[in-house]
């Protein structure tokens, strides 16, 4: 099982990623061992996640979300619930 997720950082910025262990990955972000971006933007909470059966599908969705503007991401979040 793979996940695509969006983290809201304490500065209000959004980080999008994918993983096969959501809890472990978020913990790594919180401990400063995750992505370079979250080391300096300090993750607050996961605001979106979705499960995928295949890694390729999760990576495709991650890229799709990362290509959105901030306003488009906020609109995406308002229309999509996690899970």
> Alpha-carbon distance 46 to 48, whole Å?
6
pLDDT digits (tens, 9 = 90+) for 16-39: 999 999 999 999 999 999 899 999
83 residues of the chain, pLDDT tens digit each: 999 999 999 999 999 999 999 999 999 999 999 899 999 999 999 999 999 999 999 999 999 999 999 999 999 999 987 65
| Tokens coding 6 | 């969006």
Specify the CATH superfamily of domain 2-79.
GIY-YIG endonuclease (3.40.1440.10)
Q: Does residue 12 contact residue 45 with C-beta atoms inside 8 Å? A: no
Q: Spell out the domain ranges in the chain.
A: 2-79
Whole-model pTM: value is 0.93
């Amino acid at each position: 099982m793979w996940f695509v997720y969006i983290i809201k950082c304490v500065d209000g910025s959004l980080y999008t990623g994918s993983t096969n262990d959501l809890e472990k990955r978020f913990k790594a972000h919180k401990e400063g061992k995750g992505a370079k971006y979250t080391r300096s933007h300090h993750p607050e909470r996961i605001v979106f996640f979705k499960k995928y059966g295949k890694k390729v599908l999760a990576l495709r969705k991650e890229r799709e979300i990362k290509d959105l503007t901030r306003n488009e991401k906020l609109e995406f979040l308002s229309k999509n619930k996690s899970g």
